[in-house]
Structure 1
């Protein structure tokens, strides 16, 4: 992998085409320079140069720098011995090398190519040919570098898309399980506290724990269906939670030991994606309150109007999650979810005590 994060590979069939092409392109030597080839040893030199060039091209993918240098030197040798022979193969190899390797590594090879291709023409005082070869070198290198840049850009886009998808899955998984697991922990702790002195209350807490566990399993099944590649789920995992489910959420948190006052104001058509986002934000905020403000109470305000859904969740005794101690992932997820919907979210201690989360999400946002 190069410094730009992109790895280019030359397929075996393209190597075979390069080798065969170099032989075909070099074959006119035996027609263009019949007199010189009649000189003793000239034919042997030509055959040897062709063989060396073919071998270098075959190893171009394994040793690109050495193979490119050998091909360029062979091209220079051909031009010295056979002035009528042009450096066509050299341009192809230079373009290929600029595609295989990052620009920082390809630039020195460009200098070698200019020297190897233009040098013999300059020595033979063929000024026009030297100028043409120089332009061809620059063009070949540019084509290869542009092809590599396009490939690197596509790889970066795919990598970014994969990271965003991983973040989305992590956020959804956190939202799906965090609340119900937190309720299970609280209820299990409550059952343990009263197990000896009030078995009936302990059993009630254990039943709530069982219900929360079943809910967690159902939500996890639904979540796994949403991320399956084949998307052929049977659809029995239940619909995604909406604003109408906030009352049930408040009751669940209240039963776990954090009384919740839910107020909904306004009315209007709210897209399902915004409703789901609002539900998840309220769910996560109440889950944090359940963890960090046990024995306190919480208030939830959801106001629809003016093209915006305002969400305000406050507890009256908590200090909020502590990012420095491994917490705060819920806050990150809430901010990301609000941003994806085109909204904003602020969270922090309330001036009158407790912790507050407030989000404003446009009804016509990015849904």
Structure 2
């Protein structure tokens, strides 16, 4: 893997094609009139160089620098022996190495190629071929470097998509499980506290714990189906604004009196409804776990082109962690949800006491969005 995070490898079949192609391209050279060593000597040396070049090409994937240097040296030898033939497969090797290695590492090979390819022509005072070989070297290296850059960009995009998907899964799992598990913990603790004193109340708390567990399992099954299936899950719908009262009821059962107030009317996209529901869910979960309060009010208002969500509790905003209540995934997840929907989010102690969470989610921009 190069410094740009991209790994380019030659498949065995392409190495074999390079070897066969180099022999096929170089063989006609033997019919040219040699410039040095005489007819027999020049051809013997050319055959040896062809064999060395073929062997180097076979190892091009494993040893790109050494193999490329050998091929370029063989190309320079071909030009010395048979000036009319040219540098052979040097340009193909230069392009391939520029694709296999990062640009910073293949620039030295470009310089070596210019010397090996253009040098013999300059020594022989063949100015036009020397200029043509120079242009060909620059083009071959540029094509290889551009191909690598495109490959590296695709790899980076796939890696970013994978990271975003992992973050989405973590956020959904947190939202699905955090609320119901918190309710279950509170209910179980309450049942344990009053079991000896009031068995009927304890059984009621246990039943609420069971209901919360079933709800968590249902939402988790739905979420796992959405992860497995490309076109989404069927059956269990995603939570919406209509489920806020059910959400509030589960929190009331855990000891936090919640009032839900909805204002305004109009169509709200599914993605915005799910985002608003999750934000309210996390805000109430944090209030239940951290606030030590007794009441909370949830206001959901359709305000022009936006859905405004406001949650305030009467808990101890000065208790740790007051400025960052739910300091794990909570506030970060709510802020991320609002941002993904193109909205804004704020949270902190309320001037009149308690803790407040507010999100403004655009309706029009997200009308075609997905959760």
Same fold (TM over 0.5): yes
Looking at structure 2, the residues matched to 34 and 245 of structure 1 have their Cα atoms a distance apart, in angstroms, of 88
Change (3 A) 1:210 1:354: same
TM-score normalised by L of structure 2: 0.94
Query: Aligned-pair distance for 1:365?
Result: 2.2
Q: Which moved more, 1:315-324 or 1:1-10?
A: 315-324
Moved more, 33-42 or 23-32: 33-42
Q: 1:35 to 1:102 in 2, by over 3 A?
A: closer
3-state SS, counterpart of residue 57 of structure 1:
helix
- 1:8, distance to aligned residue in structure 2 (A): 0.6
Q: Distance in 1 between matches of 2:326 and 2:252?
A: 26
Q: In structure 2, the residue corresponding to 1:176 is in which secondary structure?
A: helix
Q: Could you say what secondary structure the match of 1:28 adopts?
A: helix
Match of 2:300 in 1: 302
Aligned ranges 1:1-367 → 2 under 5 Å: 1-33=1-33, 39-229=39-229, 235-236=234-235, 238-319=236-317, 327-366=327-366, 367=369
Secondary structure of the 2:163 match is: helix
Distance in 2 (alpha carbons) for counterparts of 1:191 and 1:256: 11
Rounded to whole Å, the distance in 1 between the matches of 2:322 and 2:42 is 81
Deviations 1:154-196 (A, max 9, x none): 1111111111111111111111111111100110111111122
Superposed CA deviations along residues 18-43 of structure 1, whole A, max 9, x for unmatched, are: 11111111111111126868644322
Q: Separation in 1 of the partners of 2:173 and 2:323?
A: 19
Name stretches of at least 5 consecutive residues in structure 1 with no aligned partner.
Answer: none
Runs (5+) with no aligned partner, structure 2? none
Distance 1:255 1:153 in 2: 52
Residues matched between the structures, number: 365
Farther-moved stretch of structure 1 (26-35 vs 172-181): 26-35
- Deviation string, structure 1 residues 318-345 (Cα, Å, up to 9, x no partner): 4375798983311111111111111111
Aligned mates of 1:332, 1:40 — CA distance in 2: 78
For 2:241 and 2:325, locate their aligned partners in 1 and report how far apart those are by CA, in whole Å: 32
- Bigger CA drift: 30-39 or 258-267? 30-39
Counterparts of 2:19 and 2:325, CA distance in 1: 61
State how far apart, in whole Å, the 1-side matches of 2:63 and 2:143 are.
21
Please say if residues 348 and 356 of structure 2, whose CA atoms lie closer than 8 Å, have aligned partners that are also in contact: yes
Over the aligned positions, Cα root-mean-square deviation in angstroms equals 1.9
8 Å Cα contact 1:53-1:70 kept in structure 2: yes
**Distance apart, 1:87 and its partner CA:** 1.1
| 181-190 vs 221-230, greater mean Cα deviation | 221-230
The CA deviation string for residues 181-217 of structure 1, in whole angstroms up to 9 with x for no partner, is 1100110111111122222211111111111111111
Q: 1:154 to 1:70 in 2, by over 3 A?
A: same
Residues 182, 358 of structure 1: alpha-carbon distance in 2 compared, 3 angstrom cutoff: same
- Determine the C-alpha separation between the residues in 1 that align with 2:45 and 2:325: 74
Helix, strand or coil: the match of 1:41? helix
2:140 & 2:206 partners in 1: Cα distance? 74
